[in-house]
Amino acid sequence: MELQRSKQLYQEALDVIVGGVNSPSRSFRAVGNGTPVFMKKAQGPYFWDEDGNRYIDYLAAFGPIILGHAHPHVTAAIIETASHGVLYGTPTEKEVRLAQMLREAIPSMEQIRFVNSGTEAVMTTIRLARAYTGRNKILKFAGCYHGHSDLVLVAAGSGPSTLGIPDSAGIPPSLAQEVITVPYNDLDAFQQALDAWGDQIAGVLVEPLVGNFGIVPPAPDFLNQVKTRAHQAGALVIFDEVITGFRFHYGAIQTLFDVEPDLTALGKIMGGGLPIGAYGGSKKIMDQVAPMGPMYQAGTMAGNPLSIAAGIACLETLAQPGTYERLDEMGRTLADAIEELAKKYNITITLNRMGGAFAVYFTDQPVVNYEDAQQADGELFGQFFRLMLEEGVYLAPSKYEAWFLTTTHSDEDIQFTIRAVERSFKRMSQGK
């Protein structure tokens, strides 16, 4: 496979863009291949790179592109909206419509505010929990990624997981002291933290299903217990549904698991691929937010017409019958085939799947928390990643990032991918 143009562009990029990438998760450092592939265009489930190579995309831009690339309904909404101006700095009707659609799909979000990213959404829910409770500490779960604001980068997952560093420099120890991190799916550790600091905790922040060290579902009753015990301690419960929102059904995963948080953060899919985030909760809590209350949060780009229009078009498309059944069916077919092929070629994997998203860990242990996920073999993953890339299949360049199906993957794409996995596993089993 020729990657001449990517190599040239990467050299130029290194000169002007730090690390050559605008988000560390795009770097190929963790997979033992220096040059990231520079993509030129995308359509449906496919990418084409600068050298003209085609790839089937299972990255889906780390989640948002659930309808595939350049979906006609979303594209038309963006073009039509752009022709009327891209930013007003005033309220618009469509913001109201998208907020109504969100509330209908996620009833716990009684009142909503749009922001520009998942990072902003989560960051603001933390400030709001602190404003509402008058407390300072936040409890979170190891390996969950909640964006790159200071507090949540204390012992976080996704970015650091890609780079293999445990933490970020530049975070004052005084802030880090306000964050308690316990293992996911571990109620004993959670209870111990509550016993020690319960009366100081403003909010318990959790990915209700982890999408940042692969795919890790909550143990039965975990979320219910987290909520009950957090409330007993007087803390709010914040679900970070930036990955899970609209991924597994038309709405948030809180509805599937039947546990309503006090605050929800959203992003990714609900913007149809344009920059967006949203947070919301009961009117009583949201009334703390300016201009209604004392907690300040604002944004020049917040609720911008393009992101809102793309979000509405994306949700309208997702709402069509059969969408999530199809994603689930494709996810099952592909995941089952990968498990069978792993057995056939004696490659040890653990596969966790939920609907159209799954993670392949090169480990023989079940993966229920971050420590388990870290045991996955990064060397083997790197080899697999590079072989799949050669085959024309683009995976996230991290040993525990999920594969995301889109509504545009066809049965033929799935079969193509299965053949690529077979050839890759075969070569790995032969030590090539």
The residue with tokens 């204390």 is: 154
Residue 146 found at the interface with ligand PMP (CB under 6 A): yes
We find the least distance from the C-beta atom of residue 391 to ligand PMP, in angstroms, to be 26
User: Mapped to the 3 state alphabet, what secondary structure does 326-370 carry?
Assistant: HHHHHHHHHHHHHHHHHHHCCCCCEEEEECCEEEEECCCCCCCCH
Which of 49, 95, 240, 413: binder of ligand PMP (CB under 6 A)? 240
We find the least distance from the C-beta atom of residue 276 to ligand PMP, in angstroms, to be 8
Which of 60, 122, 342, 389: binder of ligand PMP (CB under 6 A)? 122
Q: Are 399 and 378 in contact (CB under 8 A)?
A: yes
Name the strands in the sheet holding 54-57, side by side, starting at the edge strand that comes first in the sequence.
Answer: 39-43, 46-49, 54-57, 393-394
Q: Please report, as residue ranges, which positions from 193 to 212 form the binding site for ligand PMP (by CB under 6 A).
A: 207, 211-212
Residue least distant from ligand PMP (Cβ)? 118
> What is the spatial distance between Cα 168 and Cα 148, in angstroms, rounded to a whole number?
9
We find the least distance from the C-beta atom of residue 120 to ligand PMP, in angstroms, to be 7
Cβ nearer to ligand PMP, comparing 3 with 353:
353
Cβ nearer to ligand PMP, comparing 24 with 378:
24
Which of 53, 81, 119, 254: binder of ligand PMP (CB under 6 A)? 119
Which of 20, 44, 68, 147: binder of ligand PMP (CB under 6 A)? 147
Q: Please report, as residue ranges, which positions from 24 to 63 form the binding site for ligand PMP (by CB under 6 A).
A: 62
Residue 242 found at the interface with ligand PMP (CB under 6 A): yes
Q: Which residues pair with 137 in a beta bridge?
A: 201
Residues 6+ apart with CB under 8 A from 56: 45, 46, 392, 393, 394, 409, 413, 416, 417
Closest CA to 352 of 184, 206, 105: 184
Segment (H or E) for 24: none
Cβ nearer to ligand PMP, comparing 62 with 114:
62
Q: Please report, as residue ranges, which positions from 264 to 323 form the binding site for ligand PMP (by CB under 6 A).
A: 267
We find the least distance from the C-beta atom of residue 429 to ligand PMP, in angstroms, to be 33
> What is the spatial distance between Cα 403 and Cα 409, in angstroms, rounded to a whole number?
12
Closest CA to 185 of 371, 376, 364, 404: 371
The residue with tokens 């009707």 is: 93
Cβ nearer to ligand PMP, comparing 145 with 425:
145
Which of 74, 151, 233, 243: binder of ligand PMP (CB under 6 A)? 243
Active site residues: 145, 240, 268
Residues 6+ apart with CB under 8 A from 214: 352, 359, 361, 367, 373, 400, 401, 402
Cβ nearer to ligand PMP, comparing 60 with 428:
60
The residue ranges that bind ligand PMP (CB under 6 A) are 62, 117-119, 122, 145-147, 158, 207, 211-212, 240, 242-243, 267
